[in-house]
Structures are given as structure tokens and as C-alpha cells.
């Protein structure tokens, strides 16, 4: 199934933000290994901000997907037969 262009753009944006988060996290770990605590502390703030941004956008896309699914018409089929008692 082909995704609409907006869904592809959203996915690309999330992928880019994920890559940025990974880069920032790597930088934080490098500072820790080098025992550059002032830089590590500052980098932690940047890393957490990137993570929060990625999570916020991910939740927004999930909400958009759920809303779009809920707006789809339900299939018009007859309801299933009720279960028959055993015995």
C-alpha cells in the first residue's frame, strides 16, 4: 500500500530527528568517557531536549493515524451470530 506524501514526509522527519538524537547521545557519551563533566552536563540537556522532541512528534503522528483510522467507514456486514450454548 502506497503512503501519501505527507506520511512519507512525516516518516522522513522522524528518521532525521532520530538520527540527530543518536548523534547527540553519542556526543554525551563521549564527554562522559573523556570525563569532561561540564560539557557532558550541557550535552545531557541537549540530548534530552532532542528525545522529548522526537517523542512529542511520534505521539502526534500516532494520534493522527488513530484519528484517521477511526474516521474510516466501518464495513457494512451483518453482525456475527451470537454464541450458541453448549449442550
In a domain, 42, yes or no: yes
In a domain, 27, yes or no: yes
In a domain, 75, yes or no: no
In a domain, 78, yes or no: no
In a domain, 23, yes or no: yes
57/51 Cα distance (integer angstroms): 10
Q: Give me Rg for the CA atoms of the chain.
A: 23
Total domains, the chain: 1
In a domain, 46, yes or no: yes
pLDDT, tens digit only, all 87 positions of the chain: 456 778 889 899 999 999 999 999 999 999 999 999 999 999 999 999 999 999 999 999 999 888 888 887 766 666 667 777 775
Q: What domain range is 36 assigned to?
A: 9-70
In a domain, 80, yes or no: no
76/55 Cα distance (integer angstroms): 37
Amino acid at each position: 500500500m502506497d503512503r501519501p506524501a505527507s506520511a512519507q514526509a512525516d516518516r522522513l522527519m522522524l528518521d532525521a530527528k532520530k538520527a540527530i538524537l543518536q548523534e547527540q547521545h553519542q556526543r554525551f557519551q563521549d564527554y562522559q568517557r573523556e570525563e569532561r563533566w561540564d560539557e557532558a552536563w550541557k550535552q545531557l540537556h541537549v540530548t534530552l531536549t532532542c528525545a522529548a522532541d522526537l517523542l512529542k512528534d511520534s505521539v502526534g503522528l500516532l494520534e493522527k493515524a488513530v484519528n484517521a483510522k477511526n474516521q474510516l467507514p466501518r464495513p457494512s456486514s451483518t453482525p456475527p451470530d451470537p454464541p450458541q450454548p453448549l449442550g
